[in-house]
Amino acid sequence: MKKLVESLSVLFGKTPGRPAPEEISKKAQTVHAGMAEKMTRELHLHVAAERAKKAAAANVWRRRRWAVLIVVNLLFVVSYKFDIQLMEGALTGSRFVGFHMADLNAALQVMLAYKQVLINLLIGIVTIFLVWWLLGGRTFCSWVCPYHLLSEWAEILHLKLAKKKLVKDNSFDRRGRTLLWITFAVLAFATGYTIFETISPTGIISRALIYGPGVALVWVLGLLLFEVLYSRRAWCRYACPIGLTYGLVGSLSPMKVVHDASKCFNDGACRQVCMVPHVLNSTIKGRAKTVKTDLGADCTRCGACMDVCPTDALNFKFKGMGKL
């Protein structure tokens, strides 16, 4: 329970810090104490060899993730264009071969706005809830959301500009996302309108892909430009209520991303590529409370950390099955 509370507090915006000595298990203390010796003895040989292997198969998880994300969104487009009724609707609400599916955040907005629960909406919620509970964390964000993909491409451009010192990454308080989640929920209840859905880049892009572009894409382009020039991945990191909703759903999932401190050299490569680097607090030297640490509810399960880790210290694990 303590670990769950800590995971949710980070999801809601708390910044993880250095644990007190009494919070670190004896096994983890042993790992930390022997790290300097291990680094000296093995770093140049073992890590160099592993890095060479990783370089040969770079971005394995990213390629898988991009493929799944593109295919899922193309299913909507193809179904609409050819009227084959395979995936009807858009990401906010759809039917897959007859099964109703509803984005959980959009469904919450609708129920608050209309102050009633429709049976088809309830069926759609249950279906999607089970899927994202099973996969855990914010899997929806990195494996399905079309804005996430565009933002990832914008991030690549941002990093190139930052390398040339043309832009700087500015951060915001992550608790702002929780405040926005509450604000949009209250507005939906008070006004009877799903206000967030009118500005949600996820819904805007999904509908634009299926039914054609509209003026709302100007807002999306503005967000992407802001991320390129001012704050890397700003919408997903600091503002989007959808990520918070799915993080809550996935907080008790049997699917985890686990960090093994006994294999970690604390080189920081994982934190450099992570969209939510605060979930990798245990990879900082001396911060792991236990030898094996679940990255928590705010992890997007994107696999970027695994793509760059030279020692296989980060892996997907399904409860009862071990490493995937």
Residue 247: name the closest of 33, 13, 2, 45 by CA. 13
Question: Of the given ranges (11-15, 79-83, 236-240, 287-291), which has the lowest mean pLDDT?
Answer: 11-15
Alpha-carbon distance of 228 to 241, in angstroms, equals 21
Q: CB atoms < 10 A from the CB of 256, how many?
A: 22
Predicted pLDDT at 318: 87
What's the average model confidence in pLDDT over 267-287?
A: 91
Alpha-carbon distance of 87 to 78, in angstroms, equals 8
Q: Give the helix/strand (H/E) hosting 319.
A: none
Tell me phi and psi for residue 23, to 5 degrees. Answer: -85, -15
Predicted pLDDT at 174: 92
Do residues 302 and 275 make contact, with C-beta atoms less than 8 angstroms apart? yes
Identify the top-confidence range among 52-66, 91-105, 151-165: 151-165
Which has more pLDDT, 10 or 161? 161
According to DSSP, the residues that pair with 260 across neighbouring strands are 292
Do residues 295 and 261 make contact, with C-beta atoms less than 8 angstroms apart? no
Query: What does each C-alpha distance from 82 to 79, 156, 167, 224 come to in angstroms?
Result: 6, 34, 44, 31
Residue 61: name the closest of 144, 142, 154 by CA. 142
Do residues 308 and 51 make contact, with C-beta atoms less than 8 angstroms apart? no
* pLDDT band (50, 70, 90) for residue 87: confident
pLDDT in tens, 119-162: 777 877 888 888 889 998 899 999 999 999 999 999 999 999 99
* pLDDT band (50, 70, 90) for residue 110: confident
Check whether 218 has a pLDDT greater than 60.
yes
The helix/strand/coil state of 118 is coil
Alpha-carbon distance of 206 to 54, in angstroms, equals 34
Q: Hey, which bits of 209-281 come out as E strands?
A: 255-260
What's the average model confidence in pLDDT over 152-181?
A: 94
Q: Cα 85–89–95 angle (5° rounding)?
A: 60
Predicted pLDDT at 324: 58
What's the average model confidence in pLDDT over 176-197?
A: 94
Do residues 185 and 111 make contact, with C-beta atoms less than 8 angstroms apart? no
Alpha-carbon distance of 324 to 322, in angstroms, equals 7
For the chain, domain boundaries: 2-61+256-323, 68-248
Do residues 194 and 113 make contact, with C-beta atoms less than 8 angstroms apart? yes
Predicted pLDDT at 282: 92
User: What are the counts of helices (DSSP H) followed by strands (DSSP E) for the chain?
Assistant: 17, 7
| Strand ranges of the sheet holding 99-102, from the earlier edge strand across to the other edge | 87-90, 93-96, 99-102
Do residues 186 and 50 make contact, with C-beta atoms less than 8 angstroms apart? no
What's the average model confidence in pLDDT over 254-259?
A: 93
pLDDT in tens, 18-61: 777 667 776 676 666 665 555 555 555 566 556 656 555 568 89
What is this structure's pTM?
0.85
Do residues 135 and 253 make contact, with C-beta atoms less than 8 angstroms apart? yes
% the chain with pLDDT above 90: 52
Predicted pLDDT at 207: 93
Contacts of 238 (CB under 8 A, 6+ apart): 171, 172, 173, 174, 176, 177, 231
Alpha-carbon distance of 251 to 240, in angstroms, equals 17
Predicted pLDDT at 38: 56
Check whether 250 has a pLDDT greater than 80.
yes
Residue 144: name the closest of 105, 181, 97 by CA. 105
Residue 121: name the closest of 102, 106, 94, 95 by CA. 102
Predicted pLDDT at 165: 92
Q: Give the helix/strand (H/E) hosting 91.
A: none
Return the structure tokens found at 205. 């892009």
Pairing of strands 314-318, 292-294: unpaired
